[in-house]
Structure 1
Amino acid sequence: MTKPEKSIKGSEVTLYILQQNLFSFEQWLEIESEYRLEPFFSVLDLRPYSQALCSDTKRGRKPENREAILRALLVAPFENISEFTALRERLVSDIRFRYQCGFELAKRVPSISTFSRVFGQIMEKEIAQKLFNDLVQQCLDEKIIVADTIAIDSTAIDAYEKKQPKSKSQETGNATWGAKYDTFRNKITWFGYKIHLAVDTSSELPIALEVTPANINDGDMGPTLIEKVAAQIPEGRLKYVIEDSGYDQQKNYEAAKAQRAQAIIPLNLRNAQEPPEGFSFNGTPKCSMGYEMVYWGCDKNFLKFRCPHALGKVDCPNGMAWCSSSNYGMVVKINVKDDLRRFSLPHRGTKRWEELYDKRTSVERCNSRLKENLTANDLHIRGIKKVTAYIYLNAIVLLATALASKKINCSPKQKVA
């Protein structure tokens, strides 16, 4: 999406956004707030969700505008506002912002306690989760999310709670101590939570998420996320599930296979058992002389491997005659179903496998947007249920922005303000 162009005619300001095929969240953030909020809200029909926040009883004073409060809470991460106090101050001081959120200008802005109370209702009634799932469906319908290939990973977020000893914090089910290694094998510890994301590699948009205490193993959450993705997309759509070596556990391969998808996961060689006799660690069969055979394509579920001497890869002292009387050389076929973890289709180490695994960076970029561009790592609430609702609000911003971008780009030029 290109940077907006403004034309000024008298006191009228018109904003035009030129069409571009690719959605760029970073470029969207460069648009001035007063111009980006209208298209953002235009794709959100919040009436059914705001009605769910209203009390069934007709007693007492008339409740505050729940839809306006919900709009304000949704747009807060977009505006880098992470506290109810700061959100109310912005609404009081910025009349345009208050109007775009749907508040009546003649009335006072709701109190901080009202915002907190409505957020509590969003948490208890799982409003944010429902809106997130509905927006994922809209993105699927609009063909923004493809969902044939997903990437799964987690990211650390710091807690707002007071730090506690590890032995005590693990009993609460909320924030606790987590540890991981960075790219340079330095151990990093934090007190807080993990966001586990399943992201569409084509659009880099989240399809499913979970929030857990920081000590939960990444691999344990893989099957849960795969099941949540499968519940969102048409049956048979999912083809590949891409995860790093931290997910190299049998259950993650089986979870992908249950959806008729292929898990693309590097083998974790730390503490790994020796491969079966006659195979290398990556599942490549060895010939009788101990040379790794050459991958030569596949036939349905079977991987095909050929004699390395026949293909000029090695100079075997026994030639081809040792293993085969054919000029083609010895051929070995492996059924990937024999060992879901050891064998992969495409075969590990091939160009196609590497191309697929490179798509894992999509989930890293999505995590980065949540934490650096939005407010996922700037918590001012306590407890895992509240944190989960808060992370969903941040994820909703990514989905709604993509839908708004698609709506704007449907014509070469579109007046949006």
Structure 2
Amino acid sequence: MSIIRQESLFDLQDLYDLEPTQRFDAIFSAIDIQPILTVVSKKSRFGPPVKLNYAAMIYSLVIRISERIPFIKDLVHRLKHDFIFRLDCGFLVSDHVPSEAAFSRLITQISESDVLERVQETLLLQAISEGFITDDTVAIDATHIEARDQAPAKEEKPKSEPKKRGRKSKEEHEKWILEKAEKEANLSLYEKPIEAQLNVSLNDLRTLVPNDPKWGIKKNSEGKNTFWFGYKGHLAVGTKSQYILQSLFSSGSLNDGKAAIPLLKGIQERLPSLVIRFGTLDAGYDYVPIYEQIYRMKAQSVIAYNKKNESDPIGFDKYFAPTCVREHSYQYDSFDSKYETIKYTRPKECRDCPLAKDSLCQKVYKVKITTDLRRYTAPARGSKKWKDIYKQRTAVERVNAYLKEYFQLNQIRYRTGKRAKVHFDLVHLVYNASKLACDRLSVQTKLLNQAA
């Protein structure tokens, strides 16, 4: 079996070859902490004086992720006993070292706002303006994150009454319909089918997402179900630049497909200057509303097809390309963006076929993608271009693995979802800041080499 060598994510070595002071400054220069300071700083001139250096505390949380310091207590210990590290984090010689309780209060204040999301957006817009993000393809995937707390004991469900045999009476049936309608009306947004998200605002999609630790389930490489207690991190990654364009933090029980529309809407509304042409996702996102959202963004879906017990269409192959009388598949030729039409041409096997000469096998076959957004995509399913774009989806898998390996995504130590989300958002922010710092270093090195 041949080995496919993946391109490196980005060269962090250039960053870590620098002295700590220079390395920290490179990361800090990519992050605008002023909005965070506004949230955590004292709002009134009355009351006791402020004795804490909030800016340095924020930088310390950033460096904790970058330097892989596992616990806040370890961070406080290093700040107390490493004078140079304390100065590198921005503390003055006269500043008191914050306690664990002080850091805890700071994290609680941050968790009550969406300030980290706004800082992430500012960083991405800066990277776009500097020409480091030019992606036309976005890849979306989720990763599981285990909670460090012990999972609660499973509650024993009360035994339900045995169902009555036979058909319901008219009164019972009407009562059942009313109860079902009432139950569906009381469902939360993320308990409803995915299509309910299409016309909901981005703000509601992000504020209503459940983020408390829950039991999650997934299939491993052997096809067996595995369970974990905790969260899910959902990422939308630029396949070329490999920046995290949008992220969403949720309970571990949330279906992956229910995070796709919030991520896509986030790119559309928060990064309007970024023109996305393709969205590539695995078979876990094969839902009609996700195709619809990508279509509304004037982009094309490259999503693996999940058959879902559907029968094969007659007169078409497994990629939904038409077949001739002898069941040879037509070849994908081109896509007409003006009329949103896919063009297929006669199979090569039909060149010398007598049926083709008798006009029993048409030369060209055209179909509008709006006939069925799920089946008809541009480029067409099964074509070489479709497969090449789908391969780019591995970018998000590599970013997920990198966050866990080097940016402490698996080190969530908080009991509540709000505080756990702060850690997740910091990981997202530090990753993109490190990426931007590396890109800037690469440009500077290139300019110096050219000058020399």
Q: Equivalent residues in 2 for 1:64-213 (5 A)?
A: 64-165=52-153, 174-213=212-251
Counterpart secondary structure, 2:73: helix
SS in 2 for 1:297: strand
Q: Write out per-residue CA displacement over residues 32-57 of structure 1, whole angstroms, 9 at most, x where no aligned residue.
A: 64541122123333234213311212
What is the correspondence of 1:222-233 to structure 2 with a 5 Å cutoff? Answer: 222-233=260-271
Residue identity (%) = 30
Deviation at 1:314, TM superposition (A): 8.7
Distance in 1 separating the partners of 2:314 and 2:61: 59
Give the corresponding residue for 1:56.
43
- Please list the CA deviations of residues 252-292 of structure 1 after superposition, one character each: whole Å capped at 9, or x if unmatched: 100100100111101012x2312443222321112233332
Say if 2:12 and 2:438, in contact at 8 Å, map to a contact too: no
> CA offset at residue 390 of structure 1?
0.9
Q: Distance in 1 between matches of 2:424 and 2:223?
A: 28
Residue pairs, 1:241-252, within 5 angstroms = 241-252=279-290
Q: Structure 1 residue 82: deviation in Å?
A: 3.0
CA distance 1:253–1:167, change in 2 (3 Å)? farther
1:18 maps to none
1:342 aligns with one of 369, 375, 382: 375
Output the CA distance in 1 between the equivalents of 2:381 and 2:122. Answer: 36
Q: What SS does the corresponding residue of 2:434 show, helix, strand or coil? A: helix
Task: Specify the SS of the correspondent of 1:102.
Answer: coil
The Cα shift of 1:95 comes to 1.4
Amino acid at match of 1:164: P
Displacement after TM superposition at 1:125 (Å): 2.2
> Alignment partner for residue 277 of structure 1, among 310, 314, 317?
314
Q: Is the CA contact (8 Å cut-off) linking 1:223 and 1:255 kept in structure 2?
A: yes
Unpaired runs of 5+ residues, structure 1, are 1-20
Write the distance in 1 (CA, Å) between the matches of 2:211 and 2:236.
22
Question: What is the CA-CA distance between 1:313 and the residue it aligns to?
Answer: 6.7
Match of 1:355 among 369, 384, 388: 388
Deviation string for 1:143-166 (max 9, x for gaps)? 212242110000000012320245
Give the secondary structure class of the aligned counterpart of 1:342. coil
- 2: CA distance, partners of 1:166 / 1:342: 41
191-200 vs 296-305, which deviates more? 296-305
Give me the whole-angstrom Cα distance separating, in 1, the residues matched to 2:17 and 2:414: 28
Counterpart residue identity of residue 61, structure 1: P
Give the Cα separation in 1 of the matches to 2:333 and 2:50.
72
Alpha-carbon distance between aligned partners in 1 of 2:309 and 2:352, rounded to the nearest angstrom: 31
Shift of the 217–22 alpha-carbon distance from structure 1 to 2, 3 Å rule, reads closer
Q: CA deviation at 1:26?
A: 5.9
Task: List gaps (5 residues or longer) in structure 2.
Answer: 1-7, 157-189, 192-209
Greater percentage in helix: 2
CA contact (8 A) 1:82 1:380 kept: no
Q: 1:313 to 1:81 in 2, by over 3 A?
A: farther
Q: For residues 334-388 of structure 1, what are the alpha-carbon distances to aligned partners after superposition, in whole Å with 9 as ceiling and x for unaligned?
A: 1111110001100111111111111101111111121111111111112111111
TM-score normalised according to structure 2 size: 0.79
- Quick check: 1:23–1:402 contact (8 Å CA) kept in 2? yes
- State the shift of 1:233 in Å: 1.9
More divergent stretch after superposition (138-147 vs 68-77) = 138-147
Displacement of 1:64: 0.7
Tell me: CA distance 1:285–1:235, structure 2 relative to 1, closer, same or farther (3 Å). Answer: farther
The answer on whether the counterparts of 1:151 and 1:242 sit within 8 Å (CA) in structure 2 is yes
Q: Mean Cα displacement is larger for which, 404-413 or 131-140? A: 404-413
Whether 1:409 aligns to 2:420 is no
Question: Alignment partner of 2:349: what SS?
Answer: coil
Q: 1:136 to 1:405 in 2, by over 3 A?
A: same
Is 1:333 aligned to residue 370 of structure 2?
Answer: no
Q: 1:275 to 1:402 in 2, by over 3 A?
A: same
Are residues 1:263 and 2:301 paired?
yes
- In 2, Cα distance between equivalents of 1:229 and 1:365: 20
**Counterpart in the other structure of 1:382:** 415
Q: How many residues align?
A: 386
- Does the residue aligned with 2:356 lie in a helix, a strand or coil? coil
Query: CA separation in 2, counterparts of 1:351 and 1:28?
Result: 38
Aligned Cα root-mean-square deviation (Å): 2.5
The 1:22–1:115 alpha-carbon spacing in structure 2 relative to 1, beyond 3 Å, is: closer
Query: C-alpha distance in 2, partners of 1:43/1:104?
Result: 22
- Secondary structure of the corresponding residue to residue 84 of structure 2: helix
Q: Are the aligned partners of 2:413 and 2:420 in contact in 1 as well (CA < 8 Å)?
A: no
Q: Cα distance 1:256–1:166, how it changes in 2: closer, same or farther (>3 A)?
A: farther
Q: Which residue of 1 aligns with 2:325?
A: 288
Residues 309-337 of structure 1: CA deviation (Å, up to 9, x unaligned) = xx237985x54135448xxx522111111
Q: CA deviation at 1:305?
A: 1.7
Letter in 2 for 1:141: S
Report the TM-score when normalising by structure 1.
0.86
8 A contact 2:15–2:437 mirrored in 1: no
